[in-house]
Chains A and B, each alone.
Chain A
Amino acid sequence: MPKKALVTGLASFWGAKAAQHLVDSGEFDVIVGVDTRAPHEPIDGVDFIVSDQSYSSLARLVKKSGVDTIIHSFLVLSTASTPSRSLHEINVIGTMNLLAAAGQSASKVTKIVVKSSSLIYGSNFRDPAFFTETTARSSKPKTEVESSLIEAESYIQEFAEDNPYVDLCVLRFPNVLGPTIESDLSQALIKGVAPVVIGFDPLLQFVHEDEVLRVIDFVMSDSISGVFNVAAEDRIPWSRVYAKAKATPLLIPPFFTTQATAFYRALGVAKVPSELVDLLTYGRGIDGQKLRELGYKHLYTTEEAVDKFAEYASSLKSRAVPRQTVSIANP
């Protein structure tokens, strides 16, 4: 039977990556990508369809095209880049409409993979060192991105209960590092800046961007369903991460953080949304045991992921230095 896939957020980083990956795998006859705007460059073998932010037209699309697999990669994970109104539209209403489309009677969908985030656990001083998939948050969500993820995942939970024949995988990732990913933390480190909350050195987990598609691949291959944390066992202090990446600490006072981050943002130094401030204060750990028990082998540990990223970040720096000397020599 021919396989048909739908990828959300085609113009976004992960959407494009996931669609390209499906094309390369050669397992799908039809790959449809939806987004509000066209991707920067068209991807061969992917049909692009324009949609509004909240995917209200998706019901017809799913019915007409007969897709059986959906990769929902389009969840916005930062309040810095998206205004809170559209964040709600994309994360909550978008997910709701997508699932409504996938759950209608004419739908042929049998597999849904959602790329979610460990932001759903929040970050608070009351937290346990490690969250399992079932550990409850220890604090109320503080930012729109966290509450929208909670709402989106609650729709997903309901959908899974109502449609037991659909394999639904929710993947919760910690911060992703890599040369191309558009995340606040990754981009700051590439610029050589590391936001540091004075007096705190949290323990963090990182996943390399290469790992993300590998995990999506892993859960696609079998009839795997459920919620999974994706993280290697180790956590490392933030100070070690930015030392490895040779980034300069950008000091954020532990009090009046919002004012300080707004100031840095206005200067264009770094975007540090409040969910990231919390993370850089208290850290977070997620327990990836459940996924490992299914046989998943991590590509990198947190330490290795950081090393790999640091290698890239410092190679950028060594390239940047000669360019400067040239410009000084020939003004």
Chain B
Amino acid sequence: MRPALAEVESLQTTQANITKLTSLIASSTDTTVDQWGRSEEFREVVRKLFDPIYRYWFRVEWDGLENIPMEGPALLVSNHSGALPPDALSIMHGIETELNRPVYGLADNLFKTIPGLSIAWARAGGVSANPDNAYRLLKDEGQLVLSFPEGIRGPLKTFDERYSLRRFGRGGFVETAMKSGAPIVPIAVIGAEESMPVIAKIPIPKNPLGMPYLPITYNHLAMGPIFGSFVWFPTKIRIRVLKPVYLKAKPSGSRYPRSQIMEESTKIEAMIRSAISEMLRNRRNVILG
């Protein structure tokens, strides 16, 4: 009887948390919203809701968490995968619960155009991936900023392309780190890729959400069009934080040599790639990790 009761109880708290979440979206009168639109109160509720998924579904395991500075700015750079990528949520959740430091997640500004989601995303610590924003967060506020240089190309790669990193943009993240003087902390994630693997991408014409493709996933095949869109497979997620990279550049410069930017970008990409392949070699299987 015991476990069943506990389950009912946790379900009730989950329900209460979801109600709280919607009420927080509807009105921000009682919350303290910072100048990025982030609300610690909202973040707290998101953490409570995500915690069971983080712990029992993905069983997230960290390695090298001590490489994340306890104070001062750092640009966290990670690979990005899964049609509905669980990596951003997991990294933010882990660092915030373990180190008690807020993480601001840079994301495509398309989020800002979707009614409802635009509020929830900002309150949960999402910031438009604009170089000015990242610079301000690092330089003026000394925060932790999480960036996915692959952008939307990461989650949109199909299953046969898994763990092959996409181009790290044009190295904009390196430039931002150079300008702000913040170190780059590379992060490698495995398991997110298989949590919602893309089978095919259906191109969709111009739409209000601005999505280029509609991903069809294995989750859709297994769980149908509705549940398959947001229920992940219970893969084991492993996150490895690599040694911080301190860039050899004078902060606050107006421009940096393109060659130096690309060199650093390729170096960091290679660090993440080799960490991923090592982690994959040591993995027994996708579910148990």
A interface residues with partner B (beta carbon < 8 Å):
125-130, 135, 197-201, 203, 233-237, 239-240, 243, 254-255, 282, 285
User: Given contacts A200-B115, A233-B35, could you give 19 more A-B pairs where the C-beta distance is less than 8 Å?
Assistant: A125-B110, A125-B113, A128-B136, A129-B36, A129-B132, A129-B136, A135-B132, A200-B118, A200-B119, A201-B25, A201-B119, A236-B33, A237-B28, A239-B28, A240-B29, A243-B27, A243-B29, A282-B112, A285-B35
Residues in A with CB closer than 8 Å to B119 are: 199-201
> Do residues A239 and B27 form an inter-chain contact, with CB atoms below 8 A?
yes
- SS of B interface (majority): mixed
| Given known A-B contacts A203-B37, A234-B35, A239-B28, A255 and B130 have beta carbons under 8 A apart | no
> Do residues A240 and B113 form an inter-chain contact, with CB atoms below 8 A?
no
Is B229 positioned at the interface, with any CB of A under 8 Å from its CB? no
Residue of B nearest to A282 (CB): B112
Q: Scan residues 97-120 of chain B and give those whose CB is less than 8 A from a CB of chain A.
A: 109-110, 112-119
Residues in B with CB closer than 8 Å to A199 are: 114-119
Is B79 positioned at the interface, with any CB of A under 8 Å from its CB? no
| Given known A-B contacts A200-B115, A282-B112, A128 and B130 have beta carbons under 8 A apart | yes
Please, what's the 1-or-0 string for B34-57, where 1 marks a CB less than 8 Å from any CB in chain A?
A: 011100000000000000000000
Is B208 positioned at the interface, with any CB of A under 8 Å from its CB? yes
| Given known A-B contacts A201-B28, A203-B35, A236-B33, A130 and B112 have beta carbons under 8 A apart | no
Please, what's the 1-or-0 string for B115-136, where 1 marks a CB less than 8 Å from any CB in chain A?
A: 1111100000001101011001
What 10 A-B pairs come out closest when comparing CB atoms? Answer: A199-B115, A128-B132, A125-B112, A199-B116, A254-B115, A243-B29, A128-B130, A201-B119, A237-B28, A235-B35
Q: Would you give 27 A-B contacts (Cβ < 8 Å), ordered by A?
A: A125-B113, A125-B128, A127-B128, A128-B128, A128-B130, A128-B132, A129-B36, A129-B127, A130-B132, A130-B136, A199-B115, A199-B118, A199-B119, A200-B115, A200-B118, A201-B25, A203-B36, A233-B35, A236-B33, A237-B37, A239-B27, A239-B28, A239-B29, A240-B28, A243-B27, A254-B115, A255-B208
**How far, in angstroms, from A198 to B27 measured CA to CA in the complex?**
12
Residue of A nearest to B29 (CB): A243
**How far, in angstroms, from A243 to B26 measured CA to CA in the complex?**
12
**How far, in angstroms, from A233 to B35 measured CA to CA in the complex?**
9
Q: Which of B33, B115, B132 contacts A198 (CB 8 A)?
A: B115
> Do residues B130 and A126 form an inter-chain contact, with CB atoms below 8 A?
yes
Residues in A with CB closer than 8 Å to B29 are: 239-240, 243
| Given known A-B contacts A199-B118, A239-B27, A239-B29, A126 and B109 have beta carbons under 8 A apart | yes
Residues in A with CB closer than 8 Å to B37 are: 203, 237
Residues in A with CB closer than 8 Å to B136 are: 128-130
Most buried by B among A129, A130, A198: A129
Residues in A with CB closer than 8 Å to B118 are: 199-201
Nearest CB of A to B273, in Å: 30
| Given known A-B contacts A240-B29, A243-B29, A255-B208, A128 and B133 have beta carbons under 8 A apart | yes
